[in-house]
Structure 1
């Protein structure tokens, strides 16, 4: 998993509320078990017409936001079914951080496990970040995980809270497997003792 430390990038404004995981990545794209290749279908039904043409007014189809790495979203982002493909699709598109007033629990947890930082902010801060994001590609925001701050393009700084363990995992690029491998020496030692004590096992 890629480490997350400090990110300065384009923020795309998406003020819709209750964006569910089927909107993020529709069910017909869930056949794959690979984490790559889903970005092209992110928000598929909002990005494309039925014949596959881009919908020009959808935010991620607009030239200013095609390279967005931050998403400023409405409340209850990631609700619906518990598909891990949703953060996979966001990450494959290039989104590394989603900021909202609230997230669905499973989606929120899956983000951390896949290298995406979900940040919860009060509505008044979201309103400021949304307005800043609407300025376009030149209005880059900065997410500093070490300092736990979001900085707008004009220098306004907003602190955010994050669980210390999840922060550690993102800063060090540790998913569940990585966390286990951190204990590799202890695991090896246990197995050696177990083999010595129970050679028949």
Structure 2
């Protein structure tokens, strides 16, 4: 898989606090047994009314944000049920990263396991990016996310650092899930096993 070191593109503002996975991917789109077609269900009730007509006020329906690769959200993004479909839907819609002040723990793990980068910034920094993306004089906020340096940069020269653990960083950059990480450590696991059973042979399974 191609190494991912940089994400560049427009950002769409969606500063909704406590946006849960039931809103991100409503239950009626969970009937499939694979990942196909989830882009249609992403934030459906926010994008469409009860008759299925697109809501003009929703930023995701506005032409200026079409093709955005980054979503700027509110605090506790991805709370609620543990459905992985929320992550898949965001990716299928075209998002490679989500920036927010905080994320729900299970959603964070699901995202990193599927190579959706989650960037946690201070609320004041997120507010600056929201202002840039909402400014009427610009087409949309163009951002650069450098995974190696762990920095978000704006077109006007601002830069913000974000935390990213070594394991999650490797997973996103190299496109690895938790199984891949375990297999990558197989030689060390087997060496430990041999040493363990040589010291305690009675513990070996016959």
TM-score range, shorter chain: 0.7 to 0.9
- Once residues 152 and 32 of structure 2 are traced to their aligned partners in structure 1, the CA distance between those partners, rounded to angstroms, is 34
Does the Cα contact within 8 Å between 1:2 and 1:115 map onto a contact in 2?
no
Does 2:47 align with 1:47? yes
Q: Give 5+ residue unaligned stretches, structure 1.
A: 190-200
Q: Shift of the alpha carbon at 1:186?
A: 7.4
CA RMSD of aligned residues (A): 2.1
Change (3 A) 1:3 1:95: farther
Does 2:66 align with 1:62? no
CA shift digits 1:45-101 (9 cap, x unpaired): 010122222111101110011211111111111011111111010011011111111
Q: So what's the TM-score if we normalise by structure 1?
A: 0.87
- Once residues 53 and 159 of structure 1 are traced to their aligned partners in structure 2, the CA distance between those partners, rounded to angstroms, is 40
- Once residues 157 and 61 of structure 1 are traced to their aligned partners in structure 2, the CA distance between those partners, rounded to angstroms, is 29
- Once residues 9 and 141 of structure 1 are traced to their aligned partners in structure 2, the CA distance between those partners, rounded to angstroms, is 6
Runs ≥4 residues deviating over 4 A: 183-189
Does 2:148 align with 1:146? yes
Q: So what's the TM-score if we normalise by structure 2?
A: 0.85
SS in 1 for 2:91: helix
Q: Shift of the alpha carbon at 1:181?
A: 4.0
- Once residues 33 and 48 of structure 1 are traced to their aligned partners in structure 2, the CA distance between those partners, rounded to angstroms, is 24
Quote the residue 1:161 is aligned against.
Answer: 163
- Once residues 122 and 187 of structure 2 are traced to their aligned partners in structure 1, the CA distance between those partners, rounded to angstroms, is 43
Q: Give 5+ residue unaligned stretches, structure 2.
A: 192-205
Does the Cα contact within 8 Å between 1:11 and 1:72 map onto a contact in 2?
yes
- Once residues 33 and 110 of structure 1 are traced to their aligned partners in structure 2, the CA distance between those partners, rounded to angstroms, is 17
CA shift digits 1:157-194 (9 cap, x unpaired): 111110011101111111123324435677899xxxxx
Does 2:111 align with 1:111? yes
